A and B are shown apart, each in its own frame.
Chain A
């Protein structure tokens, strides 16, 4: 049984006519004798409307109840899609994340998939049915419903593809794949027909919204090729797959991220412990953490890090809590963004970094922080200069 997993994002299932089109697309693959599993997101703005309802009731809704609430969005889509498939004369069955065997840890709102037990899916596929699974959701060992955080439906799709040993995982959205930069700010952005897992992960980490970073990690571990496509504009696609090393040397894309806050503080060892514990309890991901131990004879160390605060539901409360506990020594800087060059072998020598810095300097753009890995050079710059910087660097390295 050759399995194909398809995933459709919120904009691809935004209304009934789109759901009907998707039913036809899934049916087409099924007719080619593939076993088809379709993973769906919530319709259009459903998740946002549900969050709004909850916020009318509480500014700090319990995460566990939020997951109970938000997981209904995908359930609505999956049952409607099954009804549409039935209407086409096909046998289809919808399964919740829990029924599909997606087991997660109990970090509500941002749970990690720890295991997939796809027995029910396999049974239904054996019966010739198309299986439609609610994305973004799973179940913890305590039988509570969990959600997987931003882009979680991608993770559901790839985790299922891995568990079912699928031939590939097709991820449909409103863009036809991955570009060398965000086409909405740079018209000359180049479509990338294929890209390695590592580069894709770095792009996601650096703020590209095409694919979820955990999803790419799963695909890499299970060696499942991801096909990123546009739902309603067929033609181009980007294949994320294992590539022989060295094939894509050099810089392939320029990615940026807005909505970052840089936090700087000087603090005692106890306060640092508290900070790390608090942020991990709140399940807030830190980027670019720098820690400097206190100089001889002093007690205060310094720490700085970045948070993509738009991903934190109750950021206002977190900020207040940090301010109250570390009030004298903490500073928040909301004026920053990051631009990243993604490629391979970037730390072989520092010529790419050097040229980039010179270029930015020549154009009067100040660089306030630098991080490099083998696949990425990230520069912290002022928010206002972000888009010009992306355009400059894209012109320099890609075109």
Chain B
């Protein structure tokens, strides 16, 4: 059986005309001999509207009930798509999370998929050509509906592909992965191939196309992903294990709204470092880049966070350092993080020197590197200049 999993995002199923178009698209694949599992998100702004309704009743709606509410969105779009497919003579049946037996952990609003019983889908393919399955949702051990958090429909699609050992195609209003955000760099090129590792490192480039959790699953089960635009025939991007083209640097990722937090005049006692970061973690905050400088018998710790978390960081720090005097805390909001990514870095030298060479006119605040990435923090006012320098240096 030639099974393919396809996923269509909310803007691709925003109204019944679009649903009809998708049905035609799916039909042509069935006529080519494929059996399809099609995962959809909720239509257009449905999820946002449901959240709004819930918040009008309660500022903090009970997570279980919120999931019960939100999961209706996908159930509407899968049943409508199944109706549209049957109308064009494609035998199709919709399954919600109960019926598809998508088992998750019990964490409402951010559950994780534990397993999917694929046998039921194989059995249904005896009678049907297309099974439409509600994305973004699962059921926990009690039989309650859960949702998978942001980008959850991508996760559903890739997990189904893993369970069925099938390739997975993700359709949205973005036609693929580019070397750089075209809004920052109009000459950015579309990539034909990106590796899983690069995709995971290029969060900002990929986020609008594919959620990183789905890439992690694809990597773990070696599922070939393909991202393309729903209503276009232009070729998209394949996300694969190895890129045969092997460029040294594949892309440049840019993230705004970074704040640098600097703590100085800390005693030279590394137990504080542990305390600081465990309290910050308890607040549920993601610390990104970190530097620690030991100078004149005192420590300076600097790290980056996203802007919105300032108050949470402050409370965490005051909690960690309440027994100390004289320490100094500064915030610098308004930074951007630029990262160049490429699996080819593993086997090439001189990438760092080229990176800093390109940026020598720009004050760099923090730097981190990994095997396949170099990142730096700069003031957002320098962002455009840095993007131009780096795309030129690495031909992106």
Interface residues of B in 61-81 (CB under 8 A from A): 61-62, 64-66, 68-69, 71-72, 75-76, 78-80
Please, how many angstroms separate the alpha-carbon atoms of A45 and B86 in the complex? 26
Residues on B with beta carbons closer than 8 Å to the beta carbon of A80: 53-54, 57, 69
- Is A16 touching B20 in the complex (CB atoms < 8 A)? no
- Is B84 touching A79 in the complex (CB atoms < 8 A)? no
Residues on A with beta carbons closer than 8 Å to the beta carbon of B86: 58, 61-62, 65
Residues on A with beta carbons closer than 8 Å to the beta carbon of B66: 79, 83
Interface residues of A in 76-98 (CB under 8 A from B): 76, 78-80, 82-84, 86-87, 92-94, 96, 98
Nearest to B17 among chain A residues (CB) is: A56
Interface residues of B in 349-394 (CB under 8 A from A): none
- Is A76 touching B50 in the complex (CB atoms < 8 A)? yes
Interface size on A, residues (CB 8 A): 39
From known contacts A83-B57, A144-B99, infer whether A72 and B87 are also in contact, taking CB-CB under 8 Å: no
Chain A-chain B contacts (Cβ-Cβ < 8 Å), number: 107
A64 contacts partner chain B, Cβ-Cβ < 8 Å:
yes
Nearest to A98 among chain B residues (CB) is: B98
- Is B62 touching A82 in the complex (CB atoms < 8 A)? yes
Residues on B with beta carbons closer than 8 Å to the beta carbon of A61: 83, 86-87
- Is A53 touching B69 in the complex (CB atoms < 8 A)? no
- Is B58 touching A83 in the complex (CB atoms < 8 A)? yes
Interface string of A115-137 (1 = CB under 8 A from B): 00000100000000000000000
Residues on A with beta carbons closer than 8 Å to the beta carbon of B16: 53, 56-57
Interface string of A10-25 (1 = CB under 8 A from B): 0000001001100000
B141 contacts partner chain A, Cβ-Cβ < 8 Å:
no
Nearest to B61 among chain A residues (CB) is: A83
B56 contacts partner chain A, Cβ-Cβ < 8 Å:
yes
A75 contacts partner chain B, Cβ-Cβ < 8 Å:
yes
Q: Which of B20, B53, B69, B83 contacts A54 (CB 8 A)?
A: B83
B19 contacts partner chain A, Cβ-Cβ < 8 Å:
yes
Tell me the smallest distance from the CB of B221 to a CB of chain A, in Å. 27
Residues on B with beta carbons closer than 8 Å to the beta carbon of A60: 87
A47 contacts partner chain B, Cβ-Cβ < 8 Å:
no
Residues on A with beta carbons closer than 8 Å to the beta carbon of B93: 64-65
B94 contacts partner chain A, Cβ-Cβ < 8 Å:
yes
From known contacts A16-B53, A64-B93, A80-B54, infer whether A86 and B61 are also in contact, taking CB-CB under 8 Å: yes
Tell me the smallest distance from the CB of B350 to a CB of chain A, in Å. 58
Interface size on B, residues (CB 8 A): 35
Tell me the smallest distance from the CB of A60 to a CB of chain B, in Å. 8
B82 contacts partner chain A, Cβ-Cβ < 8 Å:
yes
- Is A57 touching B61 in the complex (CB atoms < 8 A)? no
Residues on B with beta carbons closer than 8 Å to the beta carbon of A143: 98-99
A50 contacts partner chain B, Cβ-Cβ < 8 Å:
yes
Residues on B with beta carbons closer than 8 Å to the beta carbon of A96: 68
Residues on A with beta carbons closer than 8 Å to the beta carbon of B65: 79, 82-83, 86, 92-94
- Is A87 touching B57 in the complex (CB atoms < 8 A)? yes
Please, how many angstroms separate the alpha-carbon atoms of A66 and B80 in the complex? 8
B155 contacts partner chain A, Cβ-Cβ < 8 Å:
no
- Is A50 touching B76 in the complex (CB atoms < 8 A)? yes
Q: Which of B50, B78, B84, B98 contacts A58 (CB 8 A)?
A: B84
Tell me the smallest distance from the CB of B66 to a CB of chain A, in Å. 7
Residues on A with beta carbons closer than 8 Å to the beta carbon of B68: 75, 78-79, 82, 94, 96
Interface residues of B in 15-59 (CB under 8 A from A): 16, 19-20, 50, 53-54, 56-58
- Is B94 touching A68 in the complex (CB atoms < 8 A)? yes
Q: Which of A53, A58, A64, A75 contacts B72 (CB 8 A)?
A: A75
Q: List the interface of chain B (C-beta within 8 A of A).
A: 16, 19-20, 50, 53-54, 56-58, 61-62, 64-66, 68-69, 71-72, 75-76, 78-80, 82-84, 86-87, 93-94, 96, 98-99, 143-144
18 contacts between A and B (CB under 8 A): A16-B53, A16-B56, A57-B83, A58-B86, A61-B83, A61-B86, A65-B93, A68-B75, A68-B96, A69-B80, A78-B68, A79-B68, A83-B62, A84-B57, A86-B61, A86-B65, A99-B143, A120-B143
Q: List the interface of chain A (C-beta within 8 A of B).
A: 16, 19-20, 50, 53-54, 56-58, 60-62, 64-66, 68-69, 71-72, 75-76, 78-80, 82-84, 86-87, 92-94, 96, 98-99, 120, 143-145
4 smallest beta-carbon distances between A and B, as pairs: A79-B69, A72-B72, A68-B79, A69-B79
13 extra interchain contacts, Cβ-Cβ under 8 A, other than A79-B54, A93-B64, A93-B65? A16-B53, A16-B57, A19-B57, A57-B16, A60-B87, A61-B86, A65-B94, A68-B78, A69-B75, A76-B72, A82-B68, A83-B54, A83-B66
